[in-house]
C-alpha cells in the first residue's frame, strides 16, 4: 500500500435507535439518577442492572443469565445496551431475535453458536508502524474515469493529521478511502493508519469536541503525543466468530472452475466443530504467550419466547461453558405455551429449569412525564427542534398509544415542518402526521368497524 507525504468534508451524524444510551446512569453508590446517560425512569430495573454489572466485573455470573421482562417499548433493549456500555466500549454486544434461529440454511443450534462466538472478543496486541493523529483535512481527489471517459473516480485522498508535536499531510491510495468511509471518519476524529497494510482504525473523537454534543455516544480521546509517523502498539479487537469465518472461507485457485464453485456455494454454511476446536487451540496459545486476551461480551436475545424446547436445552448447556458470554434475554410475554410443545405452559414461555437460572428484571410502562423526557432526548439526538406544546401533545399521544409510535412521528413531523418552510415542529405538524399515520389501537378499531370489507 503506497502512502506518500506531501507538503473538509461535511460532518456525518451517527444516529441509531439507541444512540443516546451511554450507560445505566447510576451514581457512585449504585443508585439510579432519574434522567442520566440517556435513560429515563425505570429506576428499579436500572438499579438491578447495576448489580448485574458488578457481578460480571467480579466474575460471579458463571452459569447464570439475565431476563428483562416487561411490556413492549419499556426500554428492555436500552437497558441491555447500557449494561454493555458499563462493561466498556470495546466489549462485544451482539443483539439477535429469537426467531432468527429458525433458518432454512443452517441448524438452529448453529445460529446460536455463531452468536455466542460473536459475543466473545479477542484483544490482540502488536507493534506496528503507523501514522496517527487528529484528522484536520479529508479531501478526495477526483480524476476522469479511464474505462468510459464519462464521470469521475477517486484517484487519491489527501488527509491531514495533527499531534502535539506537529502535523503532516498524507496522500493515500483510493482503496483507503473505502476504509475511511467504513470507519465513518470525519474531521476531528483521532485515527491511525497502518503503514504496511493501509488499514484505518478510528480511535474516537478528539477531546477538544467533548462539549459539542452532550448526548453524543462518543469515546473522547486526547490528542496523540509524539510524531505523526511512529511505531505503536496496536490493539486489534476481533471476535471468535470473525476467526471462524476467516478460516472457513474456501481457498480455491484462480481458475474459472474454482471461482464458479465459490460463487455457486451456499452463502451460509455451518462451521464444523473440528475447525472451532483448532481455532480455540490457536487462541489459547496466543493467550498463554501474552499476545492476546479473551473479552467476554454480551449476547442479547430479544423475544426469547420464540425459541423452542431444543434451543432452550442447548442454551442451558451453553451457559455452563467456561468461555460463555453474558447472556441477556428479553420478552414481553406472560404465561404462554413453550414453543415446540403442545401443552407445556410456563412463565414467559421459558422452561422452568432454565428460568431457575435467570436473574429476572422487570420493566414497567412509562408515564406521560417520562415519555416527554425520552422524546426530548430523541429530538436532541436527531437534531430536531420542537415547541413545548408539540412535546406535550406528542407525550399525550405516546401515553394513549405507545412510546415507539410517538418516537416514530418525530421524523415525518419534521418533514412536514420543512415542507411548510418552518424551522420548529409545532402542534399542527404533530396533529397532521397523527391523522395520516395510524397507531395499533386505531388500526385495530378500523379493522373491527370495517371487517366485512376485508378478505378472510
Q: What pLDDT is attached to residue 182?
A: 82
From 377, 388, 436, select the one nearest 412 (Cα to Cα): 436
Residues 6+ apart with CB under 8 A from 386: 375, 379, 394, 424, 425, 426
Q: How far apart are CA 244 and CA 279, in angstroms?
A: 7
Which of 135-149, 229-243, 313-327, 363-377 has maximum average pLDDT? 363-377
Q: Which of 110-119, 162-171, 266-275 has the lowest mean pLDDT?
A: 266-275
> Comparing 137-146, 297-306, 330-339, 372-381, which segment has the lowest mean pLDDT?
137-146
CA nearest 15: which of 407, 366, 389?
Answer: 407
Region 428-455 average pLDDT: 82
- pLDDT of 209 > 80? The answer is no
Percent of the chain with pLDDT over 70: 85
Per-residue model confidence as pLDDT tens digits over 115-157: 888 888 888 887 778 888 888 888 888 777 665 556 677 778 8
Bridge partners for 301 per DSSP: 96, 329
| pLDDT in the model for residue 11 | 33
In order of their start, the domains of the chain are 42-119+297-362 (3.40.50.300), 248-272 (no CATH), 368-442 (1.10.8.60)
* Per-residue pLDDT at 264: 47
What three-state secondary structure class fits 388?
Answer: helix
DSSP-assigned states of every residue in 271-297:
PPHHHHHHHHHHHHHHHHHTSEEEEE-
Whether residue 56 is predicted with pLDDT greater than 60 in this model: the reply is yes
Grouping H, G, I as helix, E, B as strand and the rest as coil, residue 10 is: coil
DSSP 8-state code for residue 170: E
Q: What is the spatial distance between Cα 185 and Cα 176, in angstroms, rounded to a whole number? A: 11
Which pLDDT does position 441 carry in this prediction? Answer: 83
> Sorting pLDDT into bands at 50, 70 and 90, what band is 256?
very low
Lowest mean pLDDT among 90-94, 131-135, 335-339, 437-441: 90-94
pLDDT band at 434 (very low <50, low <70, confident <90, very high): confident
pLDDT at 351 over 60: yes
Amino acid at each position: 500500500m503506497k502512502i506518500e507525504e506531501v507538503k473538509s468534508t461535511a460532518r456525518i451524524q451517527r444516529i441509531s435507535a439507541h444512540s443516546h444510551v451511554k450507560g445505566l446512569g447510576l451514581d457512585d453508590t449504585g443508585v439510579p439518577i432519574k434522567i442520566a446517560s440517556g435513560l429515563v425512569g425505570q429506576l428499579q430495573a436500572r438499579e438491578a442492572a447495576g448489580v448485574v454489572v458488578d457481578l460480571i466485573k467480579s466474575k460471579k455470573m458463571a452459569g447464570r443469565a439475565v431476563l428483562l421482562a416487561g411490556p413492549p417499548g419499556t426500554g428492555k433493549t436500552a437497558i441491555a445496551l447500557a449494561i454493555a456500555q458499563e462493561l466498556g466500549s470495546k466489549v462485544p454486544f451482539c443483539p439477535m431475535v429469537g426467531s432468527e434461529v429458525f433458518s432454512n440454511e443452517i441448524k438452529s443450534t448453529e445460529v446460536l453458536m455463531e452468536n455466542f462466538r460473536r459475543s466473545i472478543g479477542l484483544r490482540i496486541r502488536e507493534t506496528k508502524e503507523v501514522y496517527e493523529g487528529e484528522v484536520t483535512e479529508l479531501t478526495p481527489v477526483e480524476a476522469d474515469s479511464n474505462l468510459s471517459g464519462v464521470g469521475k473516480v477517486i484517484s487519491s485522498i489527501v488527509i491531514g493529521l495533527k499531534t502535539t508535536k506537529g502535523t503532516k499531510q498524507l496522500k493515500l491510495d483510493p482503496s483507503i478511502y473505502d476504509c475511511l468511509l467504513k470507519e465513518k471518519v470525519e474531521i476531528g476524529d483521532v485515527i491511525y493508519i497502518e503503514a504496511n497494510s493501509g488499514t484505518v482504525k478510528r480511535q474516537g473523537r478528539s477531546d477538544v469536541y467533548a462539549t459539542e454534543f452532550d448526548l453524543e455516544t462518543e469515546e473522547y480521546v486526547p490528542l496523540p503525543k509524539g510524531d505523526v509517523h511512529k511505531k505503536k502498539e496496536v490493539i486489534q479487537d476481533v471476535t471468535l466468530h470473525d476467526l471462524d469465518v476467516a478460516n472457513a472461507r474456501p481457498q480455491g485457485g484462480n481458475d474459472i472452475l474454482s471461482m464458479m464453485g465459490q460463487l455457486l456455494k451456499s452463502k451460509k454454511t455451518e462451521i464444523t466443530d473440528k475447525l472451532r476446536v483448532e481455532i480455540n487451540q490457536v487462541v489459547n496459545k496466543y493467550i498463554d504467550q501474552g499476545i492476546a486476551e479473551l473479552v467476554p461480551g454480551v449476547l442479547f436475545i430479544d423475544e426469547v419466547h420464540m425459541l423452542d424446547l431444543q434451543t432452550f436445552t442447548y442454551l442451558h448447556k451453553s451457559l455452563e461453558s467456561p468461555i460463555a458470554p453474558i447472556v441477556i434475554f428479553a420478552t414481553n410475554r406472560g404465561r404462554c405455551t413453550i414453543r415446540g410443545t403442545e401443552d407445556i405452559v410456563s412463565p414467559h414461555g421459558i422452561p422452568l429449569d432454565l428460568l431457575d437460572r435467570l436473574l429476572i428484571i422487570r420493566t414497567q410502562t412509562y408515564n406521560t412525564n417520562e415519555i416527554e423526557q425520552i422524546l426530548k432526548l430523541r429530538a436532541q439526538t436527531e437534531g430536531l427542534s420542537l415547541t413545548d406544546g408539540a412535546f406535550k401533545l406528542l407525550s399525550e399521544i405516546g401515553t394513549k398509544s405507545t412510546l415507539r409510535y410517538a418516537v416514530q412521528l418525530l421524523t415525518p413531523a419534521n418533514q412536514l415542518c420543512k415542507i411548510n418552510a418552518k424551522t420548529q415542529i409545532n402542534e399542527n405538524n404533530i396533529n397532521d402526521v397523527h391523522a395520516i399515520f395510524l397507531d395499533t389501537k386505531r388500526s385495530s378499531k378500523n379493522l373491527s368497524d370495517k371487517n366485512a370489507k376485508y378478505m378472510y
